[in-house]
Amino acid sequence: MQKRKLGKSNLEVSAIGLGCMGMSFGYGPPADEKEMIALIRKAVELGVTFFDTAEVYGPFTNEELVGKALAPFRGKVVIATKFGFKFDPETRKQAGLDSRPEHIKEVAEASLKRLKVDAIDLFYQHRVDPEVPIEDVAGAVKELIHQGKVKHFGLSEAGVQTIRRAHKVQPVTALQSEYSLWWREPEAEVIPTLEELGIGFVPFSPLGKGFLTGTISKDTQFDKTDFRNIVPRFTPENRKANQAMVELIENFAKEKKATPAQIAIAWLLARKPWIVPIPGTTKLHRLEENIGAAAVELTPAEVGHLEAAASEIAVQGARYPEQLQKLVGR
């Protein structure tokens, strides 16, 4: 597996990372812990050195899983986690945002224990908290970096003004936001800003929450705990309308003797040398397929053809329900 550096930082990771959220949270019931530990360790064997988690996934159980799975590989892998939510102490359910400096420091201590590490490699603010100036957030992470508890600062789903303000206080190593062939909004302002400032980009949902793999149709039934049930883009009507994007990628994949998932990931890798997608999976064959995307080379002409054809397709449905959309791009 090739390596990439996230922006101008010295943080070098595998060209494709592994998003671990779905193993514990978001896409139906949690998967079997032993199986997921084996899957994460197999990813390391296949060359993956970049693993993504967050305290809110579970909550807490995903960090514990990642901590157990990667314990034998300390110092050889990079673990990213996130802060920025508060939880109801009785139900443990998410209860709004909290990026107060004292809370960030508490979260860091708890995450260090769950991940079984001495320092958090990359610590993202999960969502921008409008109640706390971003300068205070960046300052709190800067202190943690000086104390040796955190190595790099990241932001997730932040808007360009926030990125600039944060970066002045503590250089931002990476921005994590959704980006794929069917969600290209970051191209307008975010990607040029990251390029200018030398910040890496970590796209989550590079496969459109599974849709771009070609395995989801209008008739697919999601588990009742699956987050996609509340996503407008995943209503049966929108899934039917959005098959046009999948067909485009499938046709392209046939020409390249690759799978649709591999084309979707290879397209991201071809966009910029500092983009590192983090597809998630709970299945070994999908892990191997996704990692195989690193070997699929797209020429500039192929990238241009794919983008031009994708631009002609009007994707139906918002990527988040309204209340979640309000938390992004601030």
- Active site residue ranges: 57
- Cβ-proximal residues to 54 (8 Å cutoff; 6+ apart), any chain: 21, 62, 63, 81, 82, 124, 126
Amino acid, single-letter form, for residue 279:
P
SS3 150: strand
Please state, in angstroms and rounded to a whole number, the distance separating the CA atoms of residues 284 and 39: 6
Q: Which of 211, 210, 190 is nearest to 201 (CA)?
A: 190
Torsion of CA 151, 155, 160, 161, to 10 degrees: -80
CB 33 within 8 A of CB 66: no
320 by Cβ neighbours in 10 Å (0-12 / 13-18 / 19+) ranks as: middle
